Structure 1
Amino acid sequence: MASVVDRRTIIIGIPVLAGLAAVGAVTGYALAGDPPRAGDGGDAPDGSGGLGSAPTGSPRPYPSETMLVRFDQGESSFVYGVTPGTDKRTKLADSGHDALPQWSHDRKTIVYIRDAGNWWQIVTMNPDGSNQQVVVDRVTRGTRVCWSGDDKRLAYVDKVDGRNQLFTLTLGEAKPKQITHTPDDKDDPTWSRAGDQVAMWINTRGNRQIAIVRLDQPDATPLWLTKDKVNCADPCWSPGGEWIAYTRNGEVSGQSDIWVVRPDGTDNRPVTTGTAQDMDPTWSPDGQWIAFTRGKVKAPSVWIVRPSGRDPQRLTVGPAYEAHASWS
C-alpha cells in the first residue's frame, strides 16, 4: 500500500477517501479475542522457529513497541506512531502527503517519503517527529526506503534511463551511490542485517519475483527466492534474519496473501490465505508477529498474524484507513 492508494500506483491527491471520519472521530486500536500466547506456532523470539509447530509457552501480550502507520484522511496521508492494543496515536509527519515510514533498527530514527508537489523526497526524523530533514530531494514516486543493519545507510530505487536502479546513501553524505546497472525494473529493497545483501522484487519475464542481490556483485545473476507466474513484492527480513516475509498476488485480480521464505529460497509457504488483499508485511521486534495491510486500496486496515498463520487480528478499528505499518 502507499499514500492514499496502493504504493505501486501512488497518486496522492485523488479524493478516493471521501466520507472518511475526521481524525478526532477515529476510535483507535483494539485487538479481538484473548491475548495471544508466546510460542504460538512454535516461533522463537527472533522469528527463527519452525512455522506451524504446536503452540507452547504461557500467556503474554503481543509486542507493545510503537508501530508506525500511514493514516489516510480525505485527500491526505500522514505518518502516525501508535501503540498496538491502545487508543494512543501520535501524529509524526503532517505534510499531508507522507508515506512508507520505516524504523531504523535501533529505533532512534524514522525514514519516510513525501510528495513535495512536483517530485518526491526521502526524509528522516526523530521518533517524536522532530528534526525532519530531507536527505534525498528528488526520487522516483513511491519508492520504498530501507535501513542497513548498522543504521548508517539507506537503500532505495531511483530511475536511470527509464529503469529503476538500486541506490544507497550514507547518512551525512550528499551524494547517493548507484549500485545496480541491470535492465530489469526493481523495487522494495530490504537490507540484510549482515549488510552484504538486499532482497527486493525484480521484474523477470514479465513477473515481479523476490530475489537477493549481493552488494559486492550487484549486477550478477541474483538468487531467486520465488519463481511464480504471479507478481510478488514487499519483502521484509525478520529480526533474526531467518525468514523473509513478502506479498504474493493470487490468481484472481485484487487478491494477494502474505508468504514467508528462507533467504536460500526454501520453505516457501503462505501465512495468510483467502480472498482479501493482503500486502506490505512487517515483523514485530520479537519476531512473534507479522503486521500487514489488508483491504482494498481505498479502504486499508492494519492486521497482525503469527508467522504460522495463527491468530489473525485486526488492529485498526472504526472508520480509520491505515496502512504501511513498520514495527521493527
Structure 2
Amino acid sequence: MKTLLVIGLFFSQLVSAQEPKGSIIYNSKQDGNFEVYTMNPDGSNPKNISNHPKTDYAFCSSENGKSIYFYSNRDGNDEIYKMNLDGLKVENISNHPSSDRVPEISKNEKWLAFQSDRDEKSGEIYLMNLESKNIIRLTNNNLYEESPCFSSNGKKILFTRQIKEKKDTLEVSNGEIFIMDLKTKKEIRLTNKDGFDSGAKFSPNQKQIAFYGKDEITGNYDIFIMNADGTNLTNLTNDVLEDYSPTWSPEGSWLAFTRGNAENYDVWIINIHTKELRRLTTQPKRDESPFWIN
C-alpha cells in the first residue's frame, strides 16, 4: 500500500511539474483592432495570423490544430469563419444576416455550436451540421445564453444562461453554467452562486470544468475549477484583478486565461496543482481570450 502511495505522489508531482506544450491562440488589439494571434506557451514568437482591418475574434480550433474558428464583421455583420492556422483559406460558415458569434467545434469537426440572435435578440445556442449546413436550435427562451463547449464525445454541451433573480430590478447580473444532453435536450444546472459564471471548459480528461465567475465574498472575478458534476468548487486565482476565459493545456496541468483591469488585459497561465503564475503578454494594448492548440 505504501508503495502505491509513493508512486501516486511521484506521478502527481511529475504531472504538476510538466511544462506546458503546444501553442496558444489569443485575441489582441496591438495592431489597432482585434486580430487573431498565435504564440508559444512561454509568450515568445507572437504572430498576427488574421491580418484584416475588421474585428476578428477567435474561440476554438480543430482537434489537430490546423483550423481556427472565429467570428468577424468583415462581411458587414458578425459571422462565423474558419481559416487555416497560417491565416489562409478563410471561409464564411454561418453566412446569415443575423449576428453569429462564439463558435465551438466538436472534436470530430462535424458539428459547430454557436450563439446567435437569429430567433431571439437576447441570443440563443445553436448547432450546425458542417456537412449538411442544417441548423438545430438547442435553447428556446428569451434568456441570454453564451459560451457553448462540447464534451469530448460530442454528446453533451456546456453553456451559460443568464438568470433573473427576484432581487434584480433593472439589471440581470446572474449567470449560471448548465450542461445539456444533446440527444434528449435534458439540462442540468451545475453552478448556483451569485454573480455571472461563464466560459466553462472541460478538462482534457473530462473530469473537471474550469470557468470564470465572481467570488461571493470578495466580489472579484476569478478562475474556478469544479468536478464535471458541479461538486468540489475551488477558486483557483482568488486575487484583486479580473480573471476571465480559462482554457486547458493539452496535458491538463495548466490553464491560460485573461487577467487585468480597466487599464489593460493580458494573457497569463497558471498551474492548477502548484498555482504557479506566468504572464505571457506585456504590450500596452488588450490581449485576451486565449485557447490552447496541440
Q: What range describes the TM-score normalised by the shorter chain of this pair?
A: 0.7 to 0.9
| Deviation (angstroms), 1:298 | 4.9
Instruction: Report how far residue 141 of structure 1 moved.
Output: 5.0
Q: 1:80 to 1:180 in 2, by over 3 A?
A: same
How is 1:40-119 mapped onto 2 (pairs within 5 angstroms)? 56-57=13-14, 62-73=19-30, 75-85=32-42, 87-96=44-53, 97-116=55-74, 118-119=76-77
3-state secondary structure, aligned to 2:94: strand
Partner of 1:18: none
Offset of 1:175 from its aligned partner? 3.8
Aligned to 1:137: 95
Per-residue CA deviations over 1:74-126 (Å, capped at 9, x if unaligned) read 64111011112253122211223111331222212110111236410101011
Q: Secondary structure at the match of 1:143?
A: strand
Conserved? CA contact 2:25–2:290, under 8 Å: yes
Partner residue of 2:257?
A: 292
Q: Does 1:303 align with 2:268?
A: yes
Separation (CA, whole Å) in 2 of partners of 1:143 and 1:58: 35
1:191/1:58 Cα in 2 relative to 1: closer, same or farther (>3 Å)?
closer
Partners of 2:138 and 2:162 in 1: CA distance: 17
| Cα RMSD (Å) | 2.7
In the TM superposition, 1:1-328 aligns within 5 A as: 56-57=13-14, 62-73=19-30, 75-85=32-42, 87-96=44-53, 97-116=55-74, 118-138=76-96, 141=99, 143-159=101-117, 160-206=119-165, 207-218=174-185, 220=186, 222-251=187-216, 255-308=220-273, 310-328=275-293
Q: Distance in 2 between matches of 1:260 and 1:86?
A: 24
AA of the residue aligned to 1:180: T
Q: Distance in 2 between matches of 1:227 and 1:104?
A: 32
Q: Is the 8 A contact 1:242 1:262 kept in 2?
A: yes
| 4+ residue segments displaced more than 4 Å | 58-61, 139-142, 251-254
How far apart in 2 are the matches of 1:286 and 1:245? 14
Q: Deviations over 1:51-90 (max 9, x none)?
A: xx99622996622311101111364111011112253122
Q: Please tell me whether the aligned partners of residues 269 and 277 of structure 2 are also in contact (alpha carbons under 8 angstroms).
A: yes
More strand by share: 2
Tell me the TM-score normalized by structure 2: 0.85
**Cα distance, 1:317–1:106 mapped onto 2, change above 3 Å:** same
Question: 3-state SS of the aligned residue for 1:217?
Answer: coil
TM-score (norm 1): 0.76
* Greater RCO, 1 or 2 (C-alpha within 8 Å, sep 6+): 1
Q: Partners in 2 of 1:252 and 1:143 — Cα distance?
A: 32
Deviations 1:268-326 (A, max 9, x none): 11111011100000000111100000012551100001123610111113435311101
Change (3 A) 1:215 1:137: same
- Shift in Å at residue 252 of structure 1? 8.3
Give the match's secondary structure for 2:14: coil
Which sits farther off after the overlay, 256-265 or 61-70? 61-70
Consecutive unaligned residues of structure 1, counting only runs of 5 or more, are 1-48
Q: In 2 relative to 1, CA 249–74 (structure 1 residues): closer, same or farther, beyond 3 Å?
A: farther
- CA distance in structure 1 between the partners assigned to 2:42 and 2:211 by the alignment: 24
Please, which moves more after superposition, 281-290 or 146-155? 146-155
Do the aligned partners of 1:272 and 1:309 also contact (CA within 8 Å) in 2?
no
AA aligned to 1:155 is: A
Number of residue pairs aligned between Structure 1 and Structure 2 = 276
